[in-house]
């Protein structure tokens, strides 16, 4: 099993370690609910070094990326370097191979992809790249730390005062490079903050400085409750190669505005769009006790009308919430089958929380 550069720091902070996609990762440091609350009220930090950073350079980097991804990096041109874009990577059936963030860089593009899909992603990207004049560099020399919360940027600026000005002037989905370090205003929590890539050798020192500055270590448990509250998909649960992008709220990252651009999955996606979708993605909130969980069926008037793709307890709302696939047109009187009992749920829009407030 693999260990990230922060491994010793996790142990020192009392982490409960688990195996996750072949990596030893912290699930919590005692209470995932307290960690969640720290991010919503102050600042928390997440080791996400298990994710993969791949740099793409070479003569045909731009046409390659425009072909590989559903979203169009041409939109980033006007911003120059240091702009981020969320995208799907589709297969030729318009199934979703992975979701990722792509950054425009001086050398070309940087992709950050999921840990659970690493082998599949790399095989796919490498085989597609063979048709283009590009070089791929896997950046396992970089650790990745997400620092999230209203105080996140302020805390990082305390430690890097020379960057305080530039960091505070970053808008969402931008990035700045400082020697080998890379700071991006992206995240998976619905809060302000940064995702920082830094040389492995600097990881532990940076962690300790943030800890001293009052940033709370947060594990995978809190990461999941935060992203669900923020209405963000988790690959392998809310979306995968078998779920139509229209059914998992991914149609907005498939950019058709440049009709001349061909990208993998375009033709199949246009067919799906034309025939319409039987299902759409919704949020669910349970008023009573009990927790909504992935795989539970949604029932209306005795028929199955959908399924929960991910569910949890929301520490911010103190209720259970879920992301679900629900038949188009069904908006109310939906129940969920929880261990044989039908419980009422409210169908809502996503996200549940925005800027630490209820948003539905």
Q: Determine which residue in the list 291, 299, 342, 359 makes contact with another protein, applying CB under 8 A.
A: 291
Does 189 interact with another protein (rule: CB under 8 A)? no
If the CB atoms of residues 74 and 319 are measured against another protein, the closer one turns out to be 319
How many binding residues for another protein (CB under 8 A)?
A: 15
- SS percent in the chain: helix, strand, coil, step 5: 25, 35, 35
Does 211 interact with another protein (rule: CB under 8 A)? no
- Length reported for the chain: 360
If the CB atoms of residues 56 and 234 are measured against another protein, the closer one turns out to be 234
Does 290 interact with another protein (rule: CB under 8 A)? yes
Taking the complex as a whole, how short is the minimal distance between the CB of residue 60 and another protein, in angstroms? Answer: 46
If the CB atoms of residues 28 and 54 are measured against another protein, the closer one turns out to be 28
- CB crowding 218-230: b at 16 or more within 10 Å, else e: bbbbbbbbbbbbb
Taking the complex as a whole, how short is the minimal distance between the CB of residue 289 and another protein, in angstroms? Answer: 5
Rounded Cα distance between 233 and 193, Å, is 19
What six digits make up the tokens of 26? Answer: 């912290």
Taking the complex as a whole, how short is the minimal distance between the CB of residue 27 and another protein, in angstroms? Answer: 8
Dihedral pair phi/psi, residue 183, rounded to 5°? -115, 120
Taking the complex as a whole, how short is the minimal distance between the CB of residue 352 and another protein, in angstroms? Answer: 15
Rounded Cα distance between 178 and 182, Å, is 6
Taking the complex as a whole, how short is the minimal distance between the CB of residue 235 and another protein, in angstroms? Answer: 19
Q: Does residue 62 contact residue 228 with C-beta atoms inside 8 Å?
A: no
* 169 exposure class (CB count in 10 Å sphere: 0-12, 13-18, 19+): exposed
What six digits make up the tokens of 303? Answer: 């028929």
Dihedral pair phi/psi, residue 359, rounded to 5°? -120, 5
Does 295 interact with another protein (rule: CB under 8 A)? no
Taking the complex as a whole, how short is the minimal distance between the CB of residue 318 and another protein, in angstroms? Answer: 9
* 262 exposure class (CB count in 10 Å sphere: 0-12, 13-18, 19+): exposed
Taking the complex as a whole, how short is the minimal distance between the CB of residue 339 and another protein, in angstroms? Answer: 7
CB proximity list for 113: less than 8 A, separation 6 or greater: 51, 52, 54, 89, 98, 100, 121
The 216-217 sheet, strands edge to edge: 175-178, 181-184, 193-199, 142-148, 44-47, 216-217
Rounded Cα distance between 45 and 195, Å, is 9
If the CB atoms of residues 78 and 318 are measured against another protein, the closer one turns out to be 318
Taking the complex as a whole, how short is the minimal distance between the CB of residue 288 and another protein, in angstroms? Answer: 10
Stretch that binds another protein, among 68-76, 110-118, 147-155, 284-292 (CB under 8 A): 284-292
DSSP three-state, residue 41 = helix
Does 44 interact with another protein (rule: CB under 8 A)? no
If the CB atoms of residues 21 and 33 are measured against another protein, the closer one turns out to be 33
Q: Determine which residue in the list 29, 182, 313, 352 makes contact with another protein, applying CB under 8 A.
A: 313
Taking the complex as a whole, how short is the minimal distance between the CB of residue 291 and another protein, in angstroms? Answer: 6
Interface with another protein in residues 213-232 (CB under 8 A)? 221, 225
Give yes or no for a cis peptide into 95 (omega within 30° of 0).
no
Interface with another protein in residues 14-43 (CB under 8 A)? 16, 27-28, 31-33
If the CB atoms of residues 225 and 309 are measured against another protein, the closer one turns out to be 225
If the CB atoms of residues 37 and 240 are measured against another protein, the closer one turns out to be 37
Contact positions vs another protein (CB under 8 A)? 16, 27-28, 31-33, 221, 225, 289-291, 293, 312-313, 339
């Amino acid at each position: 099993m693999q260990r990230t550069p922060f491994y010793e720091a996790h142990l020192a902070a009392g982490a409960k370690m688990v195996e996750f996609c072949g990596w030893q990762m912290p699930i919590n440091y005692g209470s995932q609910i307290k960690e969640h609350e720290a991010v919503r009220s102050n600042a928390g930090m997440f080791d996400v070094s298990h994710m993969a950073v791949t740099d793409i350079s070479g003569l045909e980097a731009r046409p390659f990326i425009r072909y590989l991804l559903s979203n169009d990096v041409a939109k980033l041109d006007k911003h120059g370097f240091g702009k981020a874009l969320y995208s799907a990577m589709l297969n030729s059936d318009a199934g979703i191979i992975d979701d990722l963030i792509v950054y425009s860089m001086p050398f070309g593009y940087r992709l950050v992809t999921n840990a659970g899909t690493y082998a599949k992603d790399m095989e796919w990207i490498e085989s597609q790249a063979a048709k283009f004049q590009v070089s791929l560099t896997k950046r396992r020399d970089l650790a990745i730390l997400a620092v999230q919360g209203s105080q996140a940027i302020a805390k990082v600026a305390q430690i890097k005062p020379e960057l305080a000005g530039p960091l505070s002037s970053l808008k969402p989905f931008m990035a700045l490079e400082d020697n080998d370090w890379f700071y991006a205003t992206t995240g998976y929590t619905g809060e302000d903050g940064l995702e920082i890539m830094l040389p492995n050798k600097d990881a532990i020192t940076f962690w300790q400085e943030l800890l001293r500055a009052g940033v709370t270590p947060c594990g995978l448990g809190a990461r999941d409750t935060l992203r669900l509250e923020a209405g963000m998909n988790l690959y392998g649960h809310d979306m995968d190669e078998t779920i139509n992008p229209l059914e998992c709220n991914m149609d907005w990252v498939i950019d058709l505005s440049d009709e001349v651009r061909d990208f993998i999955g375009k033709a199949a996606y246009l067919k799906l769009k034309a025939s319409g979708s039987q299902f759409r993605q919704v949020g669910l909130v349970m008023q009573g006790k009990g927790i909504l969980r992935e795989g539970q069926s949604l029932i209306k008037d005795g028929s199955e009308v959908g399924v929960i793709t991910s569910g949890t307890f929301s520490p911010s709302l103190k209720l259970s919430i879920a992301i679900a696939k629900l038949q188009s047109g069904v908006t109310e009187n939906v129940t969920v089958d929880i261990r044989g009992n039908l419980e009422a749920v409210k169908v809502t829009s996503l996200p549940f929380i925005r800027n630490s407030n209820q948003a539905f």
